Amino acid sequence: MQPTYLPWAGYFSMIDYVDVFVFLEDVQFSRRSWQQRNRINFKGQEKWLTVPVKKTGLRNQIIKDVEIVNHEWKIKHFNLIKEAYTGAPYFKDIIYIFEKSILNNTSLLLRDINIQFIQEVMKYLDINTKIIFSSTLKLEGKKSEYLLKICEELSAEEYISAPGSIEYIEEEGLFRKSNIKIQIFNTQVVEYDNFKIDDFIPYMSILDVIAYNGPDLTKKYLKCIRGEK
């Protein structure tokens, strides 16, 4: 999966589910995608938080090379998160995670900021899945060809695919010619008691789940949305 900004619970559910998780960070960056923005529940409404990145003269960048414009947006996002979740039972937990991984992060690379946040949440939820960065594998290819090469390099028996990728994987048909099975990672919408249930909005950032559930219930929630008890 590409390293995304403040990912939703399903992203972490997949990390928790697999044996090895690969950060796909040497593929083309998509502007205005989850790679640079995500949503929080702000007083019952979806609120987009977008990271400004350098773009002038920088077409066709790969993810690991994308630079943020400045650090000023971090304060804005931090203040919005504080206003949105003040009063939540685990408010201090999400503030600590954001401060440590983003607010105090001095890197100018979007990739570093996204990955540090993801790894900080993994630590908080005691998720110990092995992590690999695609750029370290020194492989080449496009779309499903590249995914297949990564799987073969790691001696994988099964590839867990996000629903959004399965269409082009099946269309290209390369996995069918291999010995690697494909499983589609599906999730379901499950509400949680956030003390203002009328304001529940699905698919918000993991910060929303943690703010109202803490580490233990959030870990259970990751299993619940993928259909496990």
Question: Over the stretch 124-162, which tens digit does the pLDDT of each residue have?
Answer: 999 999 999 999 999 999 989 999 999 999 999 999 999
Distance set, CA 196 to CA 18, 72, 88 (Å):
33, 31, 10
User: What integer pLDDT is reported at residue 196 of this predicted model?
Assistant: 53
Is the pLDDT at 194 greater than 60? The verdict is no
Give the pLDDT confidence score for residue 165 in this predicted structure.
87
For residue 60, the model assigns a pLDDT of 82
Query: pLDDT category, 167, cuts 50, 70, 90?
Result: confident
Q: What is the pLDDT of residue 164?
A: 85
What is the arithmetic mean of pLDDT over 17-43?
94
Q: Looking at the whole model, is its pTM more than 0.85?
A: yes
pLDDT above 70: residue 113: yes
Nearest partner of 113 among 47, 68, 82, judged by Cα: 68
The lowest-confidence range among 51-65, 72-86, 108-122, 190-204 is 190-204
Could you tell me the CA-to-CA distances from 94 to 20, 45, 134, 209 in Å, in that order? 26, 19, 28, 10
Q: What is the mean pLDDT of residues 78-95?
A: 96
Contacts of 79-85 with CB under 8 Å at 24 or more apart are 80/40, 80/42, 80/47, 80/49, 81/40, 81/49, 81/207, 83/42, 84/40, 84/41, 84/42, 84/43, 84/47, 85/40, 85/207, 85/208, 85/211
